[in-house]
Amino acid sequence: MHAADRLFELARERALLTSAASVLGWDQETYLPLRGVAWRARQLAWLSARAHELATSREWLATLEEAEVQNDGADPVLSANLREFRHETDRATRLPVELVARASETSSLAKQAWAEARKKSDFSIFRDHLDAMVDIAREKADHWGYATEPYDALVAGYERGADTAKLSSRLDPLRDPLRELAAQAVARSAEHPVDLPDGPYPADTQRRLNREIAESVGFDFEAGRIDTVTHPFCTGLGPYDTRLTTRYRENDFTDSLFGVLHEAGHGLYDQGLPAPDFGLPAGSPISLGIHESQSRLWENHVGGSRAFWERWLPRAAALFPCLAPLGLDDFLAAVRRAEFSCIRVEADEATYDLHILLRFDLERRIMRGELAVDDIPAAWNDGFRELFGFVPPDDANGCLQDIHWAMGGFGYFATYSLGNINAAQLCAAARLDPVVSAACDKADYLPLLGWMRERVHRHGSVHFPDDLVRRATGADPSTADYLAHLKRRYL
């Protein structure tokens, strides 16, 4: 047997463990009874440990090394699989077991402290835990290695081929244009405020509409489903098994609907990956910035378009009679309203990236040692004032609002803006195809999905994110299409 064949067998064995853990994780968020949480934690810990042991075992390391020696580079997919396996293996094996265990325990305590600190809006409760998480992040970066600064090693865990300098070159120039655009968009929305009726929007009827819309954009319900949770997410449990989740507010049906479009975007990507390669890099998404591009594309570029609501507003009004008096222009003004918000997850499309730029700036300064943990609340407020023109009323609405740092997710936030940027460039390129463009104008999005399947989904992790965008669009990654999209929609 060729070493690569044995390596793939081991990878698929690991995928059985991780996908089983994913099923248990999904069940924990949806149907698990409260008293079952402790046992579920033990189940997940056992599966995670076995998967980690397999991926760092002597057999795995020896087989990977043999496959690399045997590879002649003639098969680009094989080469990409070996490249990504090497990346994952190096990052896993360079961390001492003691550090992995300490990071897990510290994060568990940090998440508890964060929840209490946010509830009481008291940074001091979280301060020591955050300090410990920052130290662990720097320690991990030292073990992983980096070219210029520790933040490079952290970013590489979420966005392949990226480093601090590359992200800075793409995001920093957006600061002034987005700040100006957001201010204008907010002022314009305030001139003609429109509110949607408060309902009622029965949850069962919302479920019906959400399913119809998800089916219309191509989500395969024979290979997936939608369930109800407190914090929506999408997870792929295996080939032909993708789970979407959402939540319902009976005074606002758009919260659930746009959430389903967002998660369906993630789900369509998962359903478009090569199923026979599940468990291999060739059957896995390449980065969070690409994954997020798919959710943002369907949520914002499709779900926020006039053509989409020309088709679906009459159906929504039939299901929710309170919408019947509302014209299309007023409805669009309501769902596209731009407002400054303290909370990132509540931000509209015009102001969202300002929240990311704030976090990206702070994270770089923290990891460089330029910003002490004690000074984070004040630095947050100063940066927020510069971007938004006012200061959050308290830390719960400021530096304590996100759980990412308690989880050790330094370097994660930038991928949200990369997703917005990538979505705009991919959508603009797809609309250059006359068949795709004509269909989108009629709210037929299957040709758009087919374009994404061919240009993005089927490639898995064969190409790095920038190269994937370049191949798909015929142009270097750029923020131009994103800024143009925001200007068209809001100004």
- Pick from 142, 177, 191: nearest CA to 350: 177
Question: Are the C-beta atoms of 445 and 218 separated by less than 8 Å?
Answer: yes
Question: Are the C-beta atoms of 376 and 399 separated by less than 8 Å?
Answer: yes
466: Cα within 13 Å, side-chain hemisphere: 12
d(Cα 180, Cα 112) in Å, to the nearest integer? 38
d(Cα 384, Cα 37) in Å, to the nearest integer? 38
d(Cα 131, Cα 123) in Å, to the nearest integer? 12
State the catalytic residue, choosing from 84, 159, 263, 349: 263
CA dihedral 273, 244, 420, 476 (to 10 degrees): 0
d(Cα 142, Cα 347) in Å, to the nearest integer? 35
Tokens 């998440």 sit at which residue?
A: 111
Tokens 């990891």 sit at which residue?
A: 367
Instruction: Tell me how far CA of residue 142 lies from CA of 110, 156, 265, 285, in angstroms.
Output: 22, 13, 35, 26
d(Cα 26, Cα 267) in Å, to the nearest integer? 14
444: which residues sit within 8 A by CB, 6+ positions away? none
Helix/strand/coil (H/E/C) assignment for every residue in 239-277: CCEEEEEECCECCEHHHHHHHHHHHHHHHHHHHHCCHHH
224 three-class SS: strand
- Pick from 415, 488, 423: nearest CA to 452: 423
Question: Are the C-beta atoms of 82 and 67 separated by less than 8 Å?
Answer: yes
263 catalytically annotated: yes
Cα 298 versus chain centre, distance: 13
- Pick from 232, 293, 305: nearest CA to 265: 293
- Catalytic residue numbers read 263
